[in-house]
């Protein structure tokens, strides 16, 4: 993911807003000032109508509780409101003004408590949504291309976020953000949580329960078991090694007490990696996947989304909704799932699989096993055979000094020397491992691509013309963005006599997509992978929220014909080059999930 310095207007949106609690306190304080004044006026102009005003603070407090719920830290505010009801039975100006002063003091104390008390934990879920929605509506640059209906989104999600705010449900807040960001089919639209502790809790409680396997769809259309509990290279619930998300610190609270006695139920029944699964609780898997409505990652390309669907669906429990997660409490019955499969003879059987804990750790492990590239340092080479070398590019970053600039000449020079040395050695083939490339600087990409591009000048993208008054990008009469200045690089064609493979997947995103776009049509380059790349490449900005942050596409990159570059349109069809799909078959599953081999890299190397 990359961030652009061009969108300096985003600084307007990162300041902390006044929260609803303080707005409520301020409103009540203003009322107290008014009532202090009214105490004198009502003595001169006698009328029972003045009494209505003394009920206003209590009415306002009732409305607040109805929309935002009760919190013990608000007690002083409610007492301040209730005190004014006493004035309904008073006539003396001095007493009424004394009540207004007492209420004001209570409100000031409440303001200090709400602002500074360490135990005050109210989450501003609704405020976060409104802030993010308003900012994105004003500055998201693919509204027309993706046909975003902002009113429809607001009408659907505003009451849901309001209810999550009222119930102070952090887990529901995370689920709603994943659903909301998924509406854009944009790999650059995403929600990040600020608290690592709460993030682990939200992840573990948002993807269902672990029934000992993940589901995957073969290229032939059949659904099979992968990452099955009990096999040597599969994820194991009782593995105590630390993982990169720190899930070990929370995952054990979701396991049943007798998990060790339950964990081999699938293996004992004969289910292994690659076993065909036909039904889940009596439902065909195609029907099961229809229940999935959000993901951990964004899949703008529809065919990529369909590939990952069964992996996410594997956490759906019996009589449970997608994402609903069982947490063991006291002696509650542990849920099970009936899994129907074909045994080695082709006979259909059903096993009752017990819950082993939260599904997210296994799901995350499954995604990593399929998607993760070679685990070596960025920009390092690895020899595959005498003819072929692989270079790992996991992110488009050389060092932090150059990342925010445009000069990557030091990196280009170093890489030029390495490429020429391989050529001198007689190497004929290069694989760029771009799997799970999270993006970075597009200038980094140009610094690499220039070495392999045909000789001459090449245009990558045009900038768009920005209106400095409202910080939005201008469109012409045809609805396309007005084109600004182009970005160039000069090709050197150092590998003209050799072959190149770009190895990609659905989480090759942003500047990773840039590299595929720039190199994919070179005559000696082939793009391949189990899935095609993410197809998201606009420059990104972020909005800081109280519980997290949201990123979105904020600066358009334009092709020479004026079209927005790379990103999917409303048809959700990938627009980066893609030449060959690696079959997702039982040979791949056996190699990856049984033997721990990088079958995908081996397949690419053999394809030369």
Please compute the mean of the pLDDT values over residues 205-227 and round it to a whole number: 98
pTM, two decimal places: 0.82
119 pLDDT band, cuts 50/70/90, is: low
Task: For residue 406, give the DSSP letter.
Answer: S
| Distance separating alpha carbons of residues 117 and 123, to the nearest angstrom | 14
Contact (CB, 8 A) for 20 and 44: no
8 pLDDT band, cuts 50/70/90, is: very low
Contact (CB, 8 A) for 168 and 122: yes
Please compute the mean of the pLDDT values over residues 129-134 and round it to a whole number: 98
Q: Which residue has the higher pLDDT, 117 or 532?
A: 532
Please compute the mean of the pLDDT values over residues 170-180 and round it to a whole number: 97
Adjacent-strand bridge partners of 432: 391, 502
Helix ranges (H only) for 45-124 are: 50-68, 75-83, 93-116
Task: For residue 565, give the DSSP letter.
Answer: P
Helices (H) and strands (E) in the chain, counts: 19, 19
| Distance separating alpha carbons of residues 39 and 136, to the nearest angstrom | 47
Tokens 């608290």 correspond to: 195
Task: Please give the pLDDT value at position 471.
Answer: 82
Query: What dihedral do alpha carbons 288, 291, 294, 298 form, nearest 10°?
Result: 50
| Distance separating alpha carbons of residues 408 and 415, to the nearest angstrom | 11
pLDDT at 267 over 70: yes
Q: Is 7 helix (H, G, I), strand (E, B) or coil?
A: coil
| Distance separating alpha carbons of residues 566 and 559, to the nearest angstrom | 9
Which region among 1-10, 17-26, 245-254, 467-476 has the lowest average model confidence (pLDDT)? 1-10
Contact (CB, 8 A) for 404 and 5: yes
pLDDT at 1 over 80: no
**Bridge pairing between strands 388-392 and 429-433:** parallel
Termini Cα distance of the chain: 31
| Distance separating alpha carbons of residues 282 and 285, to the nearest angstrom | 9
Q: Pick from 364, 331, 164, 194: which is nearest to 258 by CA?
A: 331
470 pLDDT band, cuts 50/70/90, is: confident
73 pLDDT band, cuts 50/70/90, is: confident
| Distance separating alpha carbons of residues 210 and 312, to the nearest angstrom | 11
Task: Please give the pLDDT value at position 5.
Answer: 31
Please compute the mean of the pLDDT values over residues 213-233 and round it to a whole number: 97
Task: Please give the pLDDT value at position 255.
Answer: 94
Q: Within its chain, how far is the Cα of 431 from the centroid?
A: 29
Task: For residue 72, give the DSSP letter.
Answer: G
Q: Pick from 574, 527, 577: which is nearest to 186 by CA?
A: 574
| Distance separating alpha carbons of residues 418 and 325, to the nearest angstrom | 51
Task: For residue 518, give the DSSP letter.
Answer: H
Each as own residue / partner, the long-range contacts of residues 461-465 (CB below 8 Å, 24 or more positions apart, any chain) are 461/486, 461/487, 461/557, 461/558, 461/559, 461/565, 462/486, 462/487, 462/557, 462/558, 462/559, 462/560, 462/562, 463/6, 463/487, 463/557, 463/558, 464/141, 464/555, 464/556, 464/558
Please compute the mean of the pLDDT values over residues 459-472 and round it to a whole number: 91
Adjacent-strand bridge partners of 490: 457
Tokens 């902002």 correspond to: 150
pLDDT at 54 over 50: yes
- CB environment 382-419: b (16+ within 10 A), e (fewer): eebeeebbbbbbbbbbbeeebbeeeebeebbeebbeeb
Task: For residue 420, give the DSSP letter.
Answer: H
Mean pLDDT for all residues in the chain: 91
111 pLDDT band, cuts 50/70/90, is: confident
Between the alpha carbon of residue 607 and those of residues 344, 440, 499, 501, 603, the distances in Å are 31, 29, 11, 9, 6
Q: Which two tokens stand for residue 512?
A: 């990773």
19 pLDDT band, cuts 50/70/90, is: low
Give the number of residues written for the chain. 608
| Distance separating alpha carbons of residues 531 and 556, to the nearest angstrom | 25
Task: Please give the pLDDT value at position 120.
Answer: 58
């Amino acid at each position: 993911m990359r961030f652009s310095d061009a969108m300096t207007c985003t600084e307007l949106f990162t300041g902390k807003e006044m929260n609803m609690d303080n707005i409520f306190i301020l409103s009540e304080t203003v009322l107290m000032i008014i009532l202090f004044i009214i105490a004198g006026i009502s003595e001169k102009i006698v009328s029972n109508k003045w009494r209505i005003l003394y009920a206003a603070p209590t009415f306002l407090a009732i409305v607040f509780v109805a929309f935002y719920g009760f919190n013990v830290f608000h007690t002083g505010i409610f007492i301040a409101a209730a005190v004014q009801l006493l004035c309904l039975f008073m006539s003396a100006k001095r007493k009424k003004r004394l009540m207004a002063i007492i209420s004001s003091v209570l409100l000031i104390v409440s303001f200090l408590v709400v602002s500074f008390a360490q135990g005050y934990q109210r989450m501003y879920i609704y405020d976060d949504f409104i802030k993010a929605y308003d900012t994105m509506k004003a500055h998201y640059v693919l509204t027309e291309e993706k046909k975003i209906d902002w009113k429809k989104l607001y009408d659907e999600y505003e009451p849901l976020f309001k209810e999550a705010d009222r119930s102070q449900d952090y887990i529901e807040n995370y689920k709603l953000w994943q659903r909301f960001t998924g509406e854009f089919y944009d790999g650059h639209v995403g929600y990040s949580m600020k608290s690592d502790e709460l993030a682990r809790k939200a992840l573990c409680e948002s993807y269902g329960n672990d029934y000992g396997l993940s589901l995957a769809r073969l290229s032939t259309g059949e659904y099979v078991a992968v990452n099955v509990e009990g096999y040597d290279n599969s994820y194991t619930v009782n593995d105590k090694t630390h993982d990169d998300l720190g899930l070990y610190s929370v995952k054990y609270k979701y396991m049943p007490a007798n998990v060790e006695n339950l964990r081999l139920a699938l293996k004992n029944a004969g289910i292994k990696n690659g076993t065909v699964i036909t039904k889940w609780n009596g439902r065909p898997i195609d029907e099961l996947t229809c229940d999935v409505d959000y993901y951990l990652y964004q899949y703008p390309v529809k065919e990529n989304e369909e590939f990952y669907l069964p992996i996410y669906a594997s956490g759906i429990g019996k009589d449970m909704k997608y994402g609903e997660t069982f947490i063991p409490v006291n002696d509650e019955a542990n849920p099970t799932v009936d899994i129907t499969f074909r045994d080695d003879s082709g006979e259909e059987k059903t096993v009752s699989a017990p819950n082993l804990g939260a599904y997210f750790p296994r799901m995350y492990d499954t995604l990593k096993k399929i998607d993760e590239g070679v685990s070596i340092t960025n920009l390092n080479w690895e020899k595959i055979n005498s003819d072929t070398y692989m270079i790992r590019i996991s992110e488009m970053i050389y060092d932090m000094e150059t990342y925010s600039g445009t000069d990557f000449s030091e990196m280009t020079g170093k890489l030029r020397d390495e490429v020429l040395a391989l050529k001198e050695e007689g190497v004929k083939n290069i694989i760029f491992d771009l799997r799970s490339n999270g993006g970075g600087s597009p200038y980094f990409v140009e610094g690499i691509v220039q070495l392999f591009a045909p000789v001459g000048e090449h245009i990558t993208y045009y900038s768009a013309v920005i209106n400095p008054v409202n910080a939005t990008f201008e469109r012409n009469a045809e609805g396309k963005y007005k084109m600004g200045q182009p970005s160039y690089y000069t090709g050197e064609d150092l590998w003209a006599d050799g072959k190149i493979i770009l190895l990609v997947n659905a989480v090759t995103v942003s500047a990773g997509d840039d590299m595929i776009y720039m190199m994919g049509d070179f005559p000696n380059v082939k793009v391949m992978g189990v899935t095609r790349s993410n197809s998201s490449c606009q420059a990104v900005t972020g909005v800081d929220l109280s519980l997290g942050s949201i990123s979105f596409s904020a600066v358009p990159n334009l092709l020479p014909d004026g079209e927005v570059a790379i990103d999917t349109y409303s048809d959700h069809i990938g627009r980066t080059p893609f030449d060959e799909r690696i079959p997702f078959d039982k040979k791949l599953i056996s190699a990856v999930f049984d033997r721990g081999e990088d079958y995908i890299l081996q397949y690419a190397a053999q394809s030369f």
